[in-house]
Amino acid sequence: MPIALPPLTIFIVEDNTWYRELLAYRLGQNPEYHVRQFGTAQACLDHLHQSPERPDLVTLDYSLPDGQGDEVLKRLRVPLPTVPIVVISAQEDVSTAVGLLRQGAYDYLVKDEETADRLWHIVHNVRQQVGLQRENELLREQIGQKYDPTHAILGESPQIRSIWTLIDKAARTNITVSVSGETGTGKELVARAIHYRSERRNQPFVAVNVAAIPRELIESELFGHEKGAFTGAISRRIGRFEEAHGGTLFLDEIADLDPNLQAKLLRVLQEREVSRVGGGKPIAFDARLMVATHRDLAEQVQQGLFREDLYYRLMGLPIKLPPLRERGQDILLLAENFLRKFCLLNHLPALGFSTEARHKLLQYAFPGNVRELKAVVELAAVLAEGDTVRPQDLSLRNAALGYASESAGNETLREQVAGIVQRYLDAHHGNILQVAQLLQIGKSTIYRMIQNHEVRVR
């Protein structure tokens, strides 16, 4: 929905009273335009120095009693470096027009019977530009609020409060950040929160899930390729490092990076430049790097699965996210937030959790962490009858046994995740796309689990 804009403020600087009144009358017919008139350049400059009011557009007569257009344009540019200034002259002189445009004038008009109409169209275009700029500013502000850690990463537990502190510290510098934690704890959310609170907030945030890209394509994905570099390379493609120039590159599941690519990534980080596949010329880049993994990278190094030198290059500021089962009452805080948002987005009546349902949530281990909680709550909202979510509406695996139960304790995290995916596949009649959306995982992840016989479509 377009945002409501304040009136467009226009300064008319013109010594001819009749002509000044004509322009003011024509523009003043639009109630969204606020017009202020000045008979000299100095009167306009005095107003700018004495008042906080700033115009969105200035019309400037080329020949004023206290200065010519090019001179006055330079003087106005000091307090108004970016405001569009339209110069209006009684003389049609191409060289003068070109000179003024090179000097930074927005446009050059010759005084005639059509000037007011042409100016009307120019002002209309400026109005649209101002609207887009203000919408972009509002969008950036909303994004910043969305990824404010206190809004994006809900919780009141000591563990989450310490995460907020680390996010604030990371946002003040360009240090590499390594985020670790179990699947579904919100690692990418932390990376986005850091990016949108940093000085790079207006530049790209590029996220890459290393584990989701086939091994033979990952080099091209990260570094790009030239036309003809390999079969199927029908055109040049820039890589994710180049896409993230000026912003942030987030590499998720970095532990799954092929060992050969680990060496190339190390060189790229050391040299701060990339070479496209099939290209010889290095390309400098300026992107902040953040990585994430659900594995223990130090253990991967000990096992010879991850380069030690790359490990130290990536470690930077480590942020370890706690699993949901260790966050106590945060479970209910998050569940209520997910329930409220789902009902609003889907035009459902407001729902609440019964005492028994709240107890059931607190007793469950949530091997899929926050991602699983969100999916469970949304499904419960669909299944609920009346205005209350009951225990039977919560599809929790081994919920009654708790995390410390023997059956849950004997399962690996991978087996528990597979169980969650299988339950959702069964509940949604094997609809892989729908399950992927509900659990917020990639379709390729489910296909890979099917291929590995971890789950099946019945």
- Amino acid identity of 391? P
Look at residue 3 in the predicted model and tell me its pLDDT.
Answer: 52
The dihedral through the CA atoms of 208, 214, 219, 221 has a sign that is negative
Task: Tell me, yes or no, whether 182 and 315 share the same domain.
Answer: yes
- Regarding whether 292 and 174 lie in a shared domain, the answer is yes
pTM of the model: 0.58
CATH number of the domain encompassing residue 106: 3.40.50.2300
Q: What is the pLDDT of residues 303-347, one digit of tens each?
A: 999 999 999 999 999 999 999 999 999 999 999 999 998 998 888
Range of the domain at 282: 147-320
Residues 190 and 316 in one domain: yes
**Contacts (Cβ under 8 Å, ≥6 apart) of 175:** 316, 317
Judge if 159 and 270 occupy the same domain.
yes
The ranges of the chain with pLDDT < 50 are 1-2, 150, 398-410
- Domain boundary (143, 167, 198) is at 143
CA distances from 339 to 70, 188, 343, 363, 393 (A): 62, 22, 6, 19, 13
Number of independent structural domains in the chain = 3
Give the residue from 112, 143, 174 where a domain finishes: 143
Residues 127, 151, single domain; the answer is: no
Question: Do 295 and 378 belong together in one domain?
Answer: no
Output the pLDDT for position 4.
57
Q: State the average pLDDT for the chain.
A: 85
Dihedral in degrees, nearest 10, Cα atoms 225, 230, 236, 237 = -50
| Backbone conformation region of residue 273, classed left if phi is above 0, alpha if psi is from -120 to 50, else beta | beta
Q: Is the domain of 192 the same as that of 271?
A: yes
Clarify whether residues 20 and 117 are in a common domain.
Answer: yes
Output the six-digit token pair for 102. Answer: 């090179």
The CATH number of whichever domain residue 425 belongs to comes to 1.10.8.60
pLDDT > 90 in the chain, percent: 45
| Domain boundary pick from 299, 320, 341 | 320
Q: Is residue 456 part of a domain?
A: no
One domain, residues 57 and 82: yes
- Residue 213, domain CATH: 3.40.50.300
Give the tens place of pLDDT for each residue, 64-74: 998 888 889 99
Of 299, 300, 264, 270, whose CA–CA distance to 284 is shortest? 270
What confidence score (pLDDT) does residue 96 get?
82
Q: How far apart are CA 70 and CA 72, in angstroms?
A: 6
Residues 199 and 167 in one domain: yes
